[in-house]
């Protein structure tokens, strides 16, 4: 049925605001702009890919890598030697556990020496012997972990030329070094609690440890599990899953292999030409050109880093955790939303953060250090480890990685107030500062400086002429 339309409809019937105005009643969705940014990003990178192939052709070459036979042999030897330090720590702890058992039995046999808490009052001679034994154990652990890092670093720096093989060996050594230190520290405190139990609530051990109390945890099987578990912090017991999902493992490992192939292609095809073309600008200190190269390198370095992050923390560690039935898989949280630089360092790499907090930061706080001083100590220590991981495999200990870590402290201090501001603006500004420091100043500059140092020392790639 037709109805005659009258041109009298009240289009403007009430006061309304534009949707982008501050006083708008409903916050608009920006999903369309997000889609636009993704499209622009994809199109822009496709253009760069086409330009790259037109300018350089295919730079990927499987047989072009200069792996010396000596590098492979020494790298394989280090792979098997490095874990021996962890098992040497097990032998030390086994002796310490036997001594603790003997001391407790000896104390309980003497009349009037047993305390209500189950500990004992040792004689002066026993106390002196016990103290000297503990000092000896501490020295053996210290020498053991030091040799773990020292031997690997010496072999890598002086005898392994290829930086990738050296980096893999150095990363392995640092992981075992941290695990060994955690194993020694944790068992020391468990041993003290075993010999001197306390009824105070703050001294109580975690309830989960009741499943495997000290010294029952000092077994080869317990240590082997910790060796392979995706954590740097030793516990006698971990939360466990009931079964292994092998399909899940296969999917995660497929992601690892796929992302590693992607990173290799991206590095060879896109990052390498930018780095090579930056050498003459670095040598002449052409600052505008260096800045332009940094901005050009920042995109591909960020893509490679994100792919590496996902391959390691999401794919590989989850696959390893599944095989080990390791239950706690919070290897990271949403660091990309970090409202400050400090939040980023606490969330992007939880295994390292948990180690630093448990074995470095918290003990220093317990000794009376201020939070700021303890944080400085943590970043100085972390800076040393970063310099070892980068400087030794590249045979250029120039301090860039160390300075980069220590330089995080003023950034943390600058962005911390933004995190606590009312409203969302402070968090947005803090997140922008984090991303700028991360994508432009941090990784690209470090990669450029170490690449320049490598070429200045060896000059194997800088002789190639590649036009910008």
Alpha-carbon distances, residue 37 vs 46, 255, 336 (angstroms): 14, 26, 17
- Token output for 417: 């107030």
Distance CA 270, CA 124 (A): 70
What phi and psi values does residue 240 have, to the nearest 5 degrees? -125, 150
Helices 220-228 and 84-109: crossing angle, nearest 10°? 140
- Token output for 275: 């780095």
Name the burial class of residue 446, with classes exposed (0-12), middle (13-18) and buried (19+) by CB atoms within 10 angstroms of its CB. Answer: middle
CB atoms within 10 A of CB 333: 13
Q: What is the DSSP string of 12-75?
A: --S----TTSTT-SSPPP-HHHHHHHHHHHHHHHHHHHHHHHHHH-----GGG----HHHHHHH
Q: What is the DSSP string of 233-294?
A: S--S---B-S---HHHHHHHHHHHHHHHHHHHHHIIIIIHHHHHHTHHHHHTT-HHHHHHHH
Active site residues: 386
Distance CA 388, CA 351 (A): 19
On the question of a cis peptide bond just before residue 215, with omega within 30 degrees of 0, the verdict is yes
Q: What is the DSSP string of 77-144?
A: HHHHHTTHHHHHHHHHHHHHHHHHHHHHHHHHHSTT-B-TTS-B---HHHHHHHHHHHHHHHHHHHHH
- Token output for 180: 């060994």
Please list the alpha-helical segments (H only) found in 160-232.
Answer: 163-195, 220-228
- Token output for 456: 């200045």
Distance CA 253, CA 259 (A): 10
């Amino acid at each position: 049925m037709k109805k005659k339309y009258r041109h009298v409809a009240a289009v403007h019937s009430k006061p309304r605001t534009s949707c982008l105005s501050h006083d708008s009643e409903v916050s608009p969705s920006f999903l369309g702009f997000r889609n636009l940014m993704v499209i622009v990003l994809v199109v822009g990178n496709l253009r760069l890919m086409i330009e790259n192939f037109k300018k350089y052709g295919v730079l990927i070459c499987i047989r072009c890598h200069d792996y010396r036979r000596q590098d492979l042999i020494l790298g394989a030897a280090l792979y098997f030697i490095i874990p021996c330090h962890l098992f040497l720590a097990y032998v030390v702890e086994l002796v310490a556990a036997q001594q603790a058992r003997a001391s407790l039995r000896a104390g309980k046999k003497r009349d009037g020496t047993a305390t209500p808490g189950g500990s004992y009052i040792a004689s002066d001679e026993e106390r002196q012997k016990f103290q000297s034994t503990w000092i000896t154990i501490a020295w053996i652990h210290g020498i053991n972990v030091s040799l773990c890092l020292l031997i690997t670093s010496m072999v890598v720096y002086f005898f392994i030329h290829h930086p990738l093989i050296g980096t893999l060996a150095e990363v392995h050594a640092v992981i075992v070094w941290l695990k060994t230190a955690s194993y020694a520290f944790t068992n020391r405190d468990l041993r003290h609690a075993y010999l001197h139990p306390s009824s105070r609530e703050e001294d109580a051990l975690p309830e989960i440890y009741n499943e495997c109390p000290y010294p029952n945890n000092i077994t080869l099987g317990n240590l082997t599990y910790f060796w392979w578990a995706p954590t740097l912090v030793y516990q006698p017991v971990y939360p466990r899953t009931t079964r292994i999902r092998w399909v899940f493992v296969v999917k995660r490992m497929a992601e690892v292999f796929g992302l590693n192939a992607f990173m290799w292609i991206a590095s060879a095809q896109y990052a390498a030409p930018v780095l090579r073309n930056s050498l003459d600008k670095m040598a002449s200190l052409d600052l505008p050109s260096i800045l332009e190269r940094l901005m050009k390198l920042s995109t591909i370095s960020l893509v490679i880093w994100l792919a590496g992050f996902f391959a390691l923390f999401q794919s590989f560690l989850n696959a390893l955790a599944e095989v080990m039935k390791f239950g706690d898989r919070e290897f990271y949280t949403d660091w990309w939303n970090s409202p400050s630089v400090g939040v980023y360092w606490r969330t992007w790499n939880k295994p390292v953060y948990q180690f630093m907090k448990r074995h470095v930061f918290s003990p220093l706080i317990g000794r009376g250090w201020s939070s700021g001083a303890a944080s400085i100590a943590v970043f100085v220590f972390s800076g040393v480890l970063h310099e070892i991981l980068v400087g030794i495999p590249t045979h250029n200990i120039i301090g860039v990685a160390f300075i980069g870590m220590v330089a995080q402290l003023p950034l943390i201090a600058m962005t911390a107030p933004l995190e606590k501001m009312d409203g969302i603006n402070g968090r947005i500004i803090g997140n922008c500062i984090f991303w700028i420091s991360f994508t432009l100043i941090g990784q690209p500059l470090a990669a450029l400086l170490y690449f320049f140092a490598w070429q200045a020392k060896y000059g194997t790639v800088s002789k190639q002429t590649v036009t910008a």
